[in-house]
Amino acid sequence: MVEVAVAFDCHDYRISKRAIEGIVALVLAKEGISRGKISCVFVGDASIKKINTAYLGHRFSTDVITFLIETRPSLEAEIYINLKQARRQARQYRVSMKNELTRLVVHGVLHALGYDDKRTKQRKKMFEVQERYVELCPRVVSGI
């Protein structure tokens, strides 16, 4: 069984917990993961900058940070998503907020599964997988 917890440190945008659970469940199912716990925490610029600085040594805001806690016997991870950055990116890429949030949740889950985007080849592979899952999500995310 996969357990998904959703929490809000930033309340600038109404998000359906059920939609987030659906996105996480879809990605994990497609990746063959049947047991785990994923926590998605929606934050703002200040919170994610503090997390980024404290744990990764980067003194800037970002869109999503994933912490892998456990891989065996089941997957456990925490995903922090910056709602303010999501809104900026939605405008920049001319997509809906729902689409961008879906993308960031998928991206965070893929990081938890071991996908990496540090090198060009890795980033290309991760992006292809990410976009395939984003395309599958509209049925699941109607409530975002």
| Pick from 89, 106, 90, 81: nearest CA to 28 | 106
Ramachandran angles phi, psi of 36, nearest 5°: 170, 175
pLDDT exceeds 60 at position 139: no
Q: What's the pLDDT score for residue 72?
A: 83
Question: How far is the C-alpha of 59 from the C-alpha of 80, rounded, in Å?
Answer: 16
Question: Domains (ranges, CATH) in the chain?
Answer: 2-136 (3.40.390.30)
In percent, the amount of the chain with pLDDT more than 70 equals: 95
Query: Does 12 have pLDDT greater than 90?
Result: no
pLDDT of 14 > 90? The answer is no
Say what the pLDDT of residue 144 is: 59
The pair of structure tokens assigned to 106 is 């998928």
Whether this model's pTM surpasses 0.85: yes
pLDDT digits (tens, 9 = 90+) for 39-63: 999 999 999 999 999 999 999 999 9
H, E, C per residue of 14-62? CCCHHHHHHHHHHHHHHCCCCCEEEEEEEECHHHHHHHHHHHHCCCCCC
